Amino acid sequence: MLFSSFRALLAASFIGLVHQALATCTTKPQGYCTLELMAIVYDDLFQDTLEWEVANVFDKDCNNIGGLSQHGDIVPGTLIQSDLPWDIEITRLKTRGGSGDYDNIGFKYGDLYNFVGFFSCTAYSVDWPNYTGDINDCVHAFPCSG
């Protein structure tokens, strides 16, 4: 019970990053959107664990048009809904950091776009009342109009 209470507090703080996320989005050409995935990085004894917590979808002007907050449950198979015609499905997402390819992510957007490769990721540290540690923030632009 104590762990779930801590996790709820941590998730509430992490959701605050949705508002900060706009800083990672840059304006795109017409017909392109940005997918952002954010994870909390936990130091384990032998390798880092990534808990992917937040997904955001931004239009070409960096307006948030969808996403979700799963509190550590964004995994392959997760569907991300937005104002776009099709859902975004996560197809590859690393949760263990040992080999260093945490930024090698896969997703598909309807039949229009299927991507597996490297996102542009930034790691930074936060110092909140209920969590001090690292955040991994990854973005990728994709064609979002037919």
Element housing 138 (H / E): strand 131-143
Per-domain residue ranges of the chain: 2-143
**Which long-range contacts link 3-6 to residues 24+ away (Cβ below 8 Å)?**
6/130
pLDDT in tens, 16-35: 444 444 457 888 999 999 99
- 3-class secondary structure for 87-131? CEEEEECCCECCCCCCCEEEEEECCCEEEEEECEEEEEEEEECCE
Q: What local confidence, expressed as pLDDT, does residue 141 receive?
A: 95
User: pLDDT value at position 129?
Assistant: 76
Using CA atoms, how far residue 109 sits from 5, 69, 74, in Å, is 35, 19, 16
Instruction: Please compute the mean of the pLDDT values over residues 46-74 and round it to a whole number.
Output: 85
**Dihedral of CA 59/63/66/71: which sign?**
positive
Predicted confidence (pLDDT) per residue in 74-120, tens digit: 889 999 999 999 999 999 988 765 556 778 899 999 999 999 999 99
pTM: 0.80
Contact at 8 Å (CB) between 122 and 14? no
